[in-house]
């Protein structure tokens, strides 16, 4: 890659879905603000014929090659080709597997896509997703007691995306908006099982996000939604409710969705441990 280039080719080769590769690659690429990866994703590469097509594309657009392949012949052929055309390649799971093998003293099973087996954990995630989609944005409040976690907060505190992220981790998550002048569902006042987490952000951050939202919708007339005093009143209202009902509070002003979800998961785990110790 030329030092003056602002992009590079990133080849992600997997014998499964490629999700692991994409996650790792994007996490690292995000650290380089001045260059953009051009992703080439090749999932379900499990035969020499499939790999040959991949190698042809890599040769046409050389760059970094990351892979998660378990078949040794495919790994060998991919690495040899990368050496031949002088580009870097790296197995993402290889070093981790070697570490496990050294510690456990046993070889791997070599099962491709083993992490996607339809087990109890998989069905738990599906159930959580179904529940979360049914209980988004204050819907079906009669079923809130069945949740593991309930997120509350004013508009644009990332309740829905955080709920979906948590559901993907198997946590049944509902979310309920807090709107001044509109009474909260009475079910929120009598919950015993779910953890209720109130998401907060500074008025300045909320106004910024809401302005972007209005622009994307072509709505330029909703002044109250982005009025500084109105937004500050909303934040104060949410904090008063949180204190009144002793809800856990989480400031999401500078948190990504992943960071917010991780903080909620920690609160949930701490609560579960506390209950078990009682």
Check the annotation: does 16 bind a ligand. Answer: no
Residue closest to 18 by CA, chosen among 62, 52, 54: 54
Terminal alpha carbon distance of the chain: 59
* Helix (H), strand (E) at residue 65: strand 63-68
Confirm whether 109 is domain-assigned.
no
Residue 202, annotated as binding a ligand: no
CATH number of 256's domain: 3.40.50
Domain CATH number, residue 87: 3.40.50.2300
110 domain-assigned: no
The strands making up 173-177's β-sheet, listed across from edge to edge, are 173-177, 149-153, 195-200, 248-251
**How many domains, in total, are found in the chain?**
2
Of 63, 167, 83, the closest CA to residue 123 belongs to 167
Is 230 marked as a binding-site residue?
A: no
Q: Which two tokens stand for residue 2?
A: 């030329």
Q: pLDDT tens-digit profile of 103-134?
A: 998 776 666 656 555 567 888 889 999 999 99
- What is the pLDDT confidence band of residue 222, given thresholds at 50, 70 and 90? confident
**Is 159 flagged in the annotation as binding?**
yes
User: Tens of pLDDT along 23-77?
Assistant: 999 999 999 988 999 999 999 999 999 999 999 999 999 999 999 998 999 999 9
- For residues 270 and 150, membership in a common domain is answered with yes
Same domain, 142 and 248: yes
**Minimal CA–CA distance to 155: which of 179, 188, 186?**
179
Tell whether 1 is covered by a domain: no
The answer on whether 190 is annotated among ligand-binding residues is no
């Amino acid at each position: 890659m030329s030092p003056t280039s602002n992009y590079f080719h990133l080849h992600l080769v997997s014998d499964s879905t490629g999700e692991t590769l994409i996650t790792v690659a994007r996490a690292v690429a995000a650290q380089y603000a001045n260059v953009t990866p051009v992703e080439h994703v090749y999932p379900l590469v499990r035969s020499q014929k499939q790999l040959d097509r991949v190698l042809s594309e890599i040769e046409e657009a050389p760059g970094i090659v990351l892979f998660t392949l378990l078949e040794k012949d495919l790994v060998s052929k991919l690495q040899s080709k990368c050496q031949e055309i002088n580009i870097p390649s790296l197995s993402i799971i290889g070093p981790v597997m070697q570490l496990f093998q050294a510690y456990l003293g046993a070889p791997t099973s070599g099962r491709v896509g083993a992490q996607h087996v339809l087990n109890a954990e998989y069905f738990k995630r599906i159930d959580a997703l179904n529940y979360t989609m049914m209980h988004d944005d204050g819907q079906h409040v009669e079923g809130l007691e069945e949740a593991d976690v309930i997120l509350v907060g004013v508009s644009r505190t990332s309740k829905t995306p955080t709920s979906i992220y948590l559901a993907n981790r198997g946590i049944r998550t509902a979310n309920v908006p807090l709107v001044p002048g509109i009474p909260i569902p009475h079910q929120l006042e009598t919950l015993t099982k779910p953890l209720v987490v109130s998401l907060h952000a500074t008025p300045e951050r909320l106004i910024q996000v809401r302005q972007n939202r209005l622009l994307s919708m072509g709505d330029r007339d909703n002044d109250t939604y982005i009025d500084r005093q109105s937004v500050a009143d909303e934040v104060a209202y949410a904090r008063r409710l949180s204190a009144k009902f002793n809800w856990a509070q989480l400031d999401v002003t500078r948190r990504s969705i992943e960071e917010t979800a991780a903080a909620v998961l920690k609160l949930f785990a701490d609560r579960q441990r506390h209950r078990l110790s009682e």
